[in-house]
Amino acid sequence: MHVPVRLKRLAYRFAYTALRMYWFFRRPSLSGVKCVLTDGDEVLLVRHTYGPRAWELPGGAIKRGESPAAAATREMTEELGVAIDDWSAIGAIMVTVDRRKDLVHCFQANSPERELTIDQGEIAEVGWFSRGRLPQDLGRYAGPILARSPGPPG
């Protein structure tokens, strides 16, 4: 069954709003992944269809029983249509957002391709940016993670 993109985007926005209310009252601790995909000096950033519209690193939640590296692989396949299995772990950060505590496992890999098949319900836009020319409206995770991410060999 094919769900129209507009309906998928509406569902993501509704779910995000409902989750924010849940986070406000429950203050959960969550685990997720953020992925630095590179091509030379360029990094891939995305804009989601829900939540803040800033440029952010792709990623998502870790499912119960799933390893962080497996979550990174699954999320990149679901969101961007790329299969990556050779991640380099670049550490983890703890962030408090919307009254929830996020443990974010960070990974980096060279992108096998620049042509992506994005999930248009979840991802509004993608862009490759030089590390020296990142957009002004970076999301809350992108800056701290990119700061710990090694650049291309020089």
Domain tally, the chain = 1
- Print the domain residue range for 89: 5-148
Residue 153, domain member (yes or no): no
pTM: 0.80
Residue bearing tokens 């926005």: 13
Q: ∠ at Cα 83 (79, 88), nearest 5°?
A: 100
Reported as a single tens digit per residue, the pLDDT across 17-65 is 666 665 566 665 678 999 999 999 999 999 988 878 899 999 998 999 9
Residue 72, domain member (yes or no): yes
Reported as a single tens digit per residue, the pLDDT across 109-146 is 998 788 899 888 889 999 999 999 999 999 888 988 99
What is the CATH number for 105?
A: 3.90.79.10
Residue 130, domain member (yes or no): yes
3-state helix, strand, coil in the chain (%, to 5): 30, 35, 35
Give the DSSP H/E element, type plus range, for residue 77: helix 68-80
The tokens for 100 are 């929830």
